[in-house]
Amino acid sequence: MAKVTIKDVAREAGVSISTVSNALNDVDVLTPETKSHVLKVAKRLNYVPNLNGKLLKSGKTNMLGFFTTSVKGAYFYILVESMARECERLGYGLNVFVTKDKQVIMSNILGGRVDGLVIYEELKIDEHDIASMEKDKIKAVFLDRVIENETMGSVIFDSYVAGYDAAKYLISLGHKKIAYISGVDTMFDSVQRKEGYLAALREHQLEMDQDYILQGYFEEEASYNAVKSFLRMHHDKVPDAFLAGNDLSAIGCIRALKSEGYRVPEDISVMGFDDIEIAQYFTPPLTTVRNQIARQGMLVIDHLVRMIQRKEQGKLQKLSSEIVVRGSCHIKLNRDDSI
């Protein structure tokens, strides 16, 4: 690589290195003629500053990093896209690191390649890592973990409220017997959604039959099987509605219901979470709960930049979600129960 350095430009222009640097960085101390001459030479030589040298000296990268173990799924591309847009607006570059190797991540974080970072968990950044980041005053925002200290914060979805709102919506349609297709019990969001659902039921004094909690593991197939076997075992207590832990579960559920001869939404309402792309194209189009992913991306970058530039403290932000009404739920007019 026959790189042209600042030295070459200096020699070629017949000035010193510092003069070149000043010209390039708009330090207002040079004669207009000197400056324009230097710039002309730099352009002629196709000079591009070496970032490593630059950063080594200045310590600022104007780069934010997003660290994640995966980018699979619509969640990530919406998130990354919105973060990138916000970064651009604020004059930062965004840098996505996809790796499962914690060592790589930590050395990039602490090695000074980015001014701040966004972290999507799963990779077990433990207390010790957090502590050493805190000690070094690393600015970071977490996406699915609650952290709140001097230099680190979180922007998360309030899944409890989401679950609560969803259940409440089904109740408002007149449903009484609402089953839940649970996700993965080790995931925070999954648990929160279920808790929210349970809270809504409790609040309305609806029966909370243990049989009404199925295990769907956030998967279509597992949910299909769970619903199918439930229907066969419990002819006597078919629910009015199913609230599924995510849209895939809802789809599996609907397929199971159809194959057992039920119509959705005429006979039974089904509601999901996430509003995945498929949701609107499915038959029936899925009523679901949508997280404000793009909003999360925007907020996370804003928060990070404020911590960097204005030395603001880290804080916890919770995002509400919105119900997307489509065609998989139906108003239930139930004469005996009406006022």
Partner DNA sequence: TATTGTGCTGAAAACGTTTTTATGTTATTT
Partner DNA sequence: AAATAACATAAAAACGTTTTCAGCACAATA
Report yes or no: 76 and 70 within 8 Å, Cβ to Cβ.
yes
Q: Which does 149 bind (CB under 5 to 8 A by kind): a copy of itself, DNA, none?
A: none
Integer angstrom CA distances of residue 150 from 117, 130, 131: 15, 12, 11
Binding mask 52-91 for DNA (x = CB under 7 A): xxx-xxx---------------------------------
- In the numeric block, the tokens 């207390």 are attached to 127
Q: Which does 22 bind (CB under 5 to 8 A by kind): a copy of itself, DNA, none?
A: DNA
CB atoms < 10 A from the CB of 67, how many? Answer: 25
Please state whether beta strands 269-273 and 287-291 pair in parallel, antiparallel, or not at all (unpaired).
parallel
Whole-number Å distance between alpha carbons of 48 and 42: 8
> Kindly report the CA angle at 95 between 51 and 60, in degrees rounded to 5?
40
CB of 335 to a copy of itself, least distance (A): 34
80: which 2 tokens?
Answer: 């990354």
> 4, 71, 70: which is closest to 43 by C-alpha?
4
49 binds DNA (CB under 7 A): yes
50 binds DNA (CB under 7 A): yes
CB of 172 to a copy of itself, least distance (A): 28
CB of 239 to a copy of itself, least distance (A): 24
> 116, 115, 123: which is closest to 145 by C-alpha?
123
> Kindly report the CA angle at 278 between 216 and 121, in degrees rounded to 5?
60
Q: Which does 31 bind (CB under 5 to 8 A by kind): a copy of itself, DNA, none?
A: DNA
25 binds DNA (CB under 7 A): yes
Binding mask 55-74 for a copy of itself (x = CB under 8 A): xx-------------xxxxx
Whole-number Å distance between alpha carbons of 138 and 130: 9
Q: Which does 222 bind (CB under 5 to 8 A by kind): DNA, a copy of itself, none?
A: none
Binding site for DNA (CB under 7 A): 3, 5-7, 14-19, 21-22, 24-25, 27, 29-31, 33-35, 47-50, 52-54, 56-58
* Residues within the interface to a copy of itself (CB under 8 A): 1-3, 46, 48-56, 70-74, 76-78, 80-81, 84, 87-88, 93-101, 104, 106-108, 110-113, 132, 135-138, 251, 277-278, 281-283
